[in-house]
Amino acid sequence: MIYPTKQYVSGDYLNKVPDWHEDEAPWKAQEVFRMLSKNRIQPKTVCDVGCGAGAILKELQNKMSDDVSFTGFDISPQAISICKKLENTKLKFYNNDFLELDLEPFDVLLLLDVLEHIPDYLGFLNSISNRARWYIFHIPLDISVHTIIRQSPIMYMRRQYGHLHYFLQETALATLEDTGFHIVDSFYTMDAYSIEDLQKAEKSTRKLVWKLWLKLRKIFFRLHQDVGAICFQGFNLMVLAKGQIHEVD
């Protein structure tokens, strides 16, 4: 069997997503920074495993102290090629499999939209549980009433982006706990739809349906976040956790 993850190495993913999700970096970095600030974590070393185009680390570097070192790893040579333009003395990127490297533990390890792509995600989590003091996970919640009824959104995420596993809030947290992580904090994030998405909706016959869907999603989420996340597509879970290294300065 050829896993969809092969597309990240072959270059097929770059053909489908030329910017490698750089447009999502500002809001994802803001949510990571919110989690760190909320829990008063001031790291000296931050590592992003599956860093993609590297823009999230660059955004974080712009928000954090000048003495913080940032390191990104990705198995895709195409992604790292994009990253290289962002490098500086405190920001470095490497085309390596993180699991194969013997490195000192980082203060914070980021795994943002990564677990759903890994065939053996449970084995992966077990393998990294002693590689950092703090972990921040960002996990898409692909299972919702909307995606189950329509089915096509889940299969689209599989074909287009290589999602192999699909989570609810409960299963995402249980997965981390079952693999030895201690959950410290979590909150929902909402996918930010781009101006281009809205422009396409303006030009389509589904304009009113699209606008109604966005309004309902916001209303449900404001009234009850858990209900909004289980009913509508486009929500994620940001999780702060500790692994096997519990000594935190």
pLDDT at 229: 86
Q: Taking the model in full, what pTM does it have? A: 0.86
In a domain, 25, yes or no: yes
How many domains, the chain?
2
Are residues 200 and 83 both part of a single domain?
no
- Give exposure, 79-90, as e/b (b: 16+ Cβ within 10 Å): bbebbeebeeee
Torsion sign (Cα): 117, 132, 70, 192: positive
Side-chain-facing half-sphere of 36: CA atoms under 13 Å: 24
Are residues 149 and 224 both part of a single domain?
no
Stretches where the chain sits below pLDDT 50 are 1-2, 194-196, 198, 247-249
In a domain, 171, yes or no: yes
Are residues 123 and 219 both part of a single domain?
no
pLDDT tens figures, 100-112: 999 999 999 999 9
Give the domain range for residue 229: 193-233
Q: CA 143 to CA 173: how far, in whole Å?
A: 14
